[in-house]
Amino acid sequence: MKSENTYDYLVLGNSAAAVNAVEAIRARDVRGSIGLFAREAEHAYSRPLITYLLGGAVDEGRMDYRPRDFYRRLDVQVRLGAEATGVDAAGRTVRFADGSTAAFGKLLIATGGAPIRPPIEGSEGTAGVFTFTTWADQRAMEEYIVRHNVSKAVVLGGGLIGLKSLEALLARKVKCALVELADRVLAITFDQQASQLAQAALAKMGVDLRTNNTVSSVQNQGGRICSVTLKDGSVVPAEMLILAIGVRPDLALLEGSGIKADRGIAVDEQMQTSQPDIYAAGDVAEAMDNLLGAPRPVPILPVAARQGRVAGVNMAGGQAKYDGSVAMNAVDVVGLPTISVGITVEQEGDQVLRELDVKAGVYRKLVIRDERLIGAIFIGQIQRAGIFTGLIRNRVNVSAFKDLLMSDQFGLLSLPAEYRAHMVAGSGIEV
């Protein structure tokens, strides 16, 4: 008889990777004991929706990633608000912040990423300075906005998190300044032309965009933020500061575990770490990027879900392989739909197909290397983006239909019959 703190399967985390792993385990093993421990006190929720919740586009009833009785139906023992602080790989135990431990037969680390919080003079201990990656962050921000009648804010970071934070604040009628260290917004995933269209949309909404800049210090009045000073010496009034420069894999609990990690936890095709019977998935993992041919963390929900499913199957004795990821970002920039997939900045020798309509705010770009589509950008019109994503992920040779790629008539019927059959019988297209 096992004690209540010993599990055949122990899962750390409660987001997309963890949930999909639990489902995959139960599909193969209906009797094995599963314990799920997570730092956050929330039921599994859809993390990308927190900015929409702050902006009023969704209500709390839309937040659940799975029904409230999900873990009960799958016979999972759940302990929320439990922060894992260490892993003993040899002893097969996990330590938690309250001093308790749990033993495992198989372990999945799906603890996600931690927001990057740069050292900014005056920011520590000043009210009104937030990161924005959890539901708890959303609640704290909403309470602060309402209590202090916030009317102006600064968002630090012009990437995906920053732009979604900005959109939520604008929806609440908060005047915003956006500060970005690079020379343009979405610099990692967009080219110059795409960034210009995004910035034009921001300008129409009255956003004060400050590129090639960062926040060097925070000023407060009565303990609350009242302004920020930028690197160039300018002072921007602010009743809130949102630190939205990204997340990094949360590797704190690995110290002394012997589990190999670089930018994230190193995993193989089965999502197993360097230690036997210990797996990792989601934002914390460093898995293969198909296009780069090297491992790296890809912190997006569909990738986390796929990795979790592969890990769960293998933990339960199955045979599944993770077929690699392709970076993809889809974001509405204050009403302008955008998608970027794969490698979007071309190198010498690449073929680039482009179409631009500045007046309509429409831009399409395809990057082709060795007759294979490796990257795509869609601004304004994102129809059929799923088809192009499938071509990129599956490394399809496009030479036979390359001349049709930018045509308005391009669609599924333009593809080779054998590839269309793969899409129906195989993994299909992820959009």
Same domain as 266, residue 240:
no
CA-CA distances (angstroms) from residue 76 to 5, 11, 25, 36, 343? 13, 10, 11, 7, 40
In a domain, 328, yes or no: no
In a domain, 374, yes or no: yes
pTM: 0.91
d(CA 7, CA 119): 40
Residues of the chain with confidence (pLDDT) below 50: 1-3, 424-431
Same domain assignment for residues 296 and 404: no
CATH of the domain at 408: 3.30.390.30
Residue 422: the pLDDT is 55
Beta-strand (E) ranges in 254-293? 265-266, 278-280, 285-289
**Which residue from 256, 291, 288, 296 is spatially nearest to 370, judged by alpha carbons?**
291
Q: State the Cα angle at 265 between 264 and 269, rounded to 5°.
A: 115
Q: What is the CATH number of the domain that holds 277?
A: 3.50.50.60
Q: Three-class SS of residue 254?
A: helix
Residue in the block written with tokens 């302990």 = 79
Structural domain for 108, as ranges: 6-48+57-113+249-315
Partners of residue 336 on adjacent β-strands = 333
Identify the pLDDT of residue 420: 59
Instruction: Please report whether residue 353 resides in a domain.
Output: yes
With contact defined as beta carbons under 8 Å apart, do 194 and 186 qualify? Answer: yes
The 10s digit of each residue's pLDDT in 318-339 is 999 998 888 888 888 888 999 9
Q: Give the number of domains in the chain.
A: 3
d(Cα 188, Cα 185) in Å, to the nearest integer? 8
Residue 118 lies in a domain: no
| Residue bearing tokens 């009034």 | 237
Q: Could you tell me if 193 and 238 lie in one domain?
A: yes
Q: Verify that 269 and 173 share a domain, yes or no.
A: no
**Residue 427 pLDDT:** 47
Q: β-strands 285-289, 265-266: how paired?
A: parallel
As given in the structure block, the two tokens for residue 17 are 């990777």
- Regarding whether 274 and 192 lie in a shared domain, the answer is no
376 within domain boundaries = yes
> Is there a domain that residue 329 lies in?
no
321 in a structural domain: no
* Residues 84 and 153 both lie in one domain: no
* pLDDT, position 167: 95
The DSSP line for 101-144 is EEEEEEEEE---EEE-----BTTTT-BTEEE-SSHHHHHHHHHH
Does residue 58 sit in helix, strand or coil? coil
Domain membership of residue 151 (yes or no) is yes
Instruction: Give the C-alpha separation, 120 to 79, whole Å.
Output: 35
